[in-house]
Structure 1
Amino acid sequence: MQSLTADNIIVFFLSLGLLLGVARVLGELAQRFHQPAVLGELLAGVILGPTVLGSLAPEAGAFLFPQEGPNAIALNTITTLAVVLFLLVAGMEVDLSIISKQGKVAPRVSISGIVLPFLIGLAAAWIAPQALGRDLDADPLIFSLFLATALSISALPVIAKTLMDLDLYRSDFGMIIVSAAVFDDLVGWIIFAIILGLINSAANHSNHILMTIVLTLAFAGIMLTLGRWLIHRLLPFLQAYTRWPGGVLSFALVLALLGAAFTEWIGIHAIFGSFLVGVAVGDSPHLRERTRVIIDQFVSFFFAPVFFASIGLKVNFLTHFDLTLVVTVLLIACVCKLAGGTLGARWGGMPKRESWAVGFAMNSRGAIEIVLGLLALQAGIIRDRLFVALVIMAIVTSMMSGPAIRLILRLGKKRTLLDAISSKLFTRELQAFSSSMAIHELSAMACEASGLNTGEVEAAVWEREEILPTGIGNGVALPHARIGGISKPIVAVGISGMGIDFDAPDDKLAHVIFLILTPVDAPDTQLEITAELAKLFRGYGMTERVLKIKSYTEFLALVKSSTVEANPA
């Protein structure tokens, strides 16, 4: 039986440690410059791969990262496991319930954002295949379907991270985008799974191809219905009778590996199985946010950097860089996705400025695009030139998303927290001990000061709270709603000494609750106040200072002084 020798093991751990270390350092540097970590992780692979190290010191590159042999197999095994777990995390970020709760806007953004790019990509690949990098021996239909899928999909993890960085994730604007991206992810991966099934069955008869497609759709349907139901029933049992969070972590990882094995067996890639398992696990209300964060960090700080860095080991980005192809792919990708997202938002009734911001958000391709490209490269659908173009397109679209949203949404006059609070909208001792009671108490206070109907306001805020809890962490919660009949924002502030559970990402109770009511015809106002509060309470220290105040005057003084500190001249 062949096994790794001592020398093989030494080289394997040396190369893995080097790959992870450089990827983490460059990933952190990328985030310091407000760019996605995947940019730095990819750059690590480019530096350690044939592009830089392989060109400057080919013997060292071949020693550390051989293309064949036991060490290559071992590293490939680790990277395969890494991408399977990465897709588990990506799937857990999908919340199916928010699609139906967002009304007509999110479905229309999603439909337009998928259909328009898909049709444009399909037509472009069919009409001008050589200009888009198709090899002469590639199947025209499969290539066209792949490119159409690659152009229509959005990167939910990158979109979510961008919205979090802009403090917009838990706003109505953020939920519309996330809802649309959820649907994009599901449809895109199902289509791509079918494409992989067509590839793997190409040498067989048509009934085998049909069987692969049927099994793919059946597995997706079962996991998203019966699978979700079973997981929903099992999670409380695991939380009650196993050690938390270890029992749930093990359960999720075991299911992901079993799902990956099944989808690999039916002829599509293993990542599709782990992705659907992630969707089923993450959609359960019994999965605490803290558990989700632990799984995300477990994968994001080891497996994901190794996988994305390993991509740079596979291709020489300099020798396979084709400027014409890169520009062509980038232009088509941006135009069709921007048009699809923006038109969908306008179709759903969103204002013009927010619609453009939605288009730029949905234009993020990020890590998901790179995964698709790598699988297509490994399956022989595309070659190195187009893969390099897709990677560059994914990076550029992800980099431009955040700055574009920030620029578009902040063109008008900015409303601040100080415009919306008053002594009549402040209570030092909130009596509530649950999120619903807190919303009721603050709604009543806001309505008494403004003359609004308490029942209508409370119902609107609670409906939004059920879509996604508004605890932002650091002891703060921001329940909110857009209300008709007001011309300016109203913010009711309540302080709770004992704390109230708003299901925050850090699992801490909320001690400072801001009930934010904004006019229906001023959609930017909610985003501006939410972003201001998130920035003001970035650390738990601000919450501790608020808990020590004894009056509205002290609270107002603290907010004003802290706002100056957070926004120095």
Structure 2
Amino acid sequence: MSTTELFLIAMVIILGVPYLIWRVFRTDYWAPLVVVQILTGILLGPGVLGKIFPDYYATVFAPPVIGALNGIAWWAAMLFVMIAGIELDLREVWRQRRECGTTAALALGVPLAAGCLAALGLMAWRDGWMGTDTQPWQFVLGIGMACAVTALPILILLMEKLDILRAPLGQRVLRYASLDDIAIWAVLAILLLDWKRVGHQAAFLAIFAVAAWAFRALMDRLKESDRYYVSLIWLAAVGYGADWCGLHFMVGAFLAGAIMERDWFNLERLDGLRHNVLLVVMPIYFLSTGLRTNWNIGGTAVFVAAGVLLVASVIGKLAGVGIAGKVLGWKRGDAWLIGWLLQTKALIMIIFVNVLLDKHMITSETFTALLLMAVASTMLTVPIVAPRLKALGYV
């Protein structure tokens, strides 16, 4: 078969299998479609069906097909991260800076510390978790941040599902998550700092600052329909610059969106763009993520590591938000509710650990454990939060 035919067969599998699972088994309450797509990607990858049916894997996911899928996946993830950057509302965060700063710092800092301890435990347990091109501090900090991540785009989707996104509670949670989102990308930039290319990185940041000023001036003068198109050009340019200097194109994608004003876009249209990206191209990113999973050091060890990381992540997040609730005098039950909402990981965490894997800071086994942790933590959110929202009178 030609590469085109194999590509289209792969697309049928990527789009068809998770949709059928989602619809037939009605998983939406505990596993939204995006979670099913991630799990399907793992099952379709080399670690599961690739080992059971090696001929299937070698034929359908041949190198030319993988190359085509990867290109679409990169662009899909960049679009999604840019939209996450646009969603940041730092002006409202600044107006409520004491509450937002306290909550965001504790919601990030405590699970970060718990994740770092878990990473040290993995290193002491056995070899095979740390990548070849990294220092121990980079590995420990990377794992810690992966445990602390809150996935802003998926959080928005889940709060839409729970009908609280535009409610006061939903807006509070978005403000806390926005600050943590900035911290995630700042830490990633520190992890990727390359002293051999620090001149390139400084040059990129200087050029970016000037270009961002000119871009913002241009966007103020454009009508909304033109802003979408110009944003795509800006995204590609900033992504290239970030990757050229060694910061990775995903850091560039976040920077490209973060300097944009949410007021430039109609919120309904921006939500529609995010939904369309999820519908049309993000399933390919999930599949390509699943194709990178590995179980070479033993499936049991990977599952144990995923469990340890999940416990560190959940307990750390709930403890951090619980402390914030006591300090700020929240009403009873709010800290538990907000802690679980901020526990949502999935996409941004998966993008974050993909970058760590690309830069050889973690092994594919560590990547698999982190991926399982992200999926599990996201699947827990709605079943735990939905009953509490009703009990506390939010819905």
**Alignment TM-score, normalising by the size of structure 1:** 0.63
User: 2-side partners of 1:53 and 1:127: how far apart?
Assistant: 31
SS in 2 for 1:104: helix
Counterpart mapping for 1:393-542 below 5 A: 393-411=373-391, 414=393, 527=394, 531=395
- The structure-2 alpha-carbon separation of the partners of 1:260 and 1:400, relative to structure 1 and needing over 3 Å to count, comes to same
Which residue of 1 is the match for residue 14 of structure 2? 19
- State which drifts further: 301-310 or 40-49: 40-49
- Compared CA separation, residues 51 and 342, structure 1 to 2 (3 A): same
* Structure 2 residue 51 is the aligned partner of structure 1 residue 55: yes
User: Is structure 2 residue 222 aligned with structure 1 residue 238?
Assistant: yes
Question: Is contact 2:197–2:245 with CA below 8 Å preserved after alignment?
Answer: no
Is 1:65 the equivalent of 2:65? Answer: no
Q: State which of 147, 150, 159 in structure 2 corresponds to 1:151.
A: 147
User: Sequence identity of aligned pairs in percent?
Assistant: 24
- What SS is found at the alignment partner of 2:391? coil
Aligned residues between the structures: 390
Aligned to 1:36, which of 18, 32, 35?
32
Distance 1:44 1:18 in 2: 10
Question: 1:383-425 CA deviation, whole Å, 9 max, x = no partner?
Answer: 222212211111111122223223334435x5xxxxxxxxxxx
Matched to 1:174, the amino acid is G
CA change 1:15–1:181 in 2 (3 A) is same
CA distance in 2, matches of 1:41, 1:148: 25
What is the distance in 2 between the residues matched to 1:160 and 1:362?
11
For 2:169 and 2:88, locate their aligned partners in 1 and report how far apart those are by CA, in whole Å.
17
Aligned to 1:298: 276
CA contact (8 A) 1:154 1:185 kept: yes
Of residues 339, 345, 353, the one that matches 2:319 is 339
More helix by share: 2
Aligned to 1:257: 236
- The one-letter code matched in structure 2 to 1:58 is P
1:217 Cα offset (Å)? 6.0
Partner of 2:5: 10
Matches within 5 A, 1:80-229: 80-126=74-120, 129-131=123-125, 134-135=129-130, 138-197=134-193, 201=194, 206=195, 208=196, 210-211=198-199, 214=202, 222=209, 227=212
CA change 1:127–1:400 in 2 (3 A) is closer
For structure 1, the 5+ residue unaligned runs are 1-5, 415-526, 532-569
Q: Is the 8 A contact 1:194 1:213 kept in 2?
A: no
In structure 1, what is the Cα distance between the partners aligned to 2:202 and 2:327? Answer: 34
Report the residue type matching 2:140 in the other structure. Answer: S
| 1:534-558: CA deviation from partner (whole Å, max 9, x where unpaired) | xxxxxxxxxxxxxxxxxxxxxxxxx
Change (3 A) 1:105 1:218: farther
CA distance in 1, matches of 2:156, 2:131: 38
Higher strand share: 1
CA distance in 2, matches of 1:93, 1:401: 21
Query: Which one-letter code corresponds to 2:347 in the other structure?
Result: A
User: Relative to 1, partners in 2 of residues 1:233 and 1:145: Cα closer, same or farther, differing over 3 Å?
Assistant: same
Q: Is the 8 A contact 2:204 2:241 kept in 1?
A: no
Residue 398 and residue 305 in structure 1: after superposition, are their counterparts in 2 closer, same or farther (change >3 A)? Answer: same
1:123 and 1:317 map into 2 onto residues whose CA distance is 23
> So what's the TM-score if we normalise by structure 2?
0.88
Residues 334 and 182 of structure 1, relative CA distance in 2, 3 Å threshold:
same
**2:218 counterpart letter in structure 1:** L
Higher relative contact order (CA 8 A, sep 6+): 2
1:350 correspondence with 2:346: no
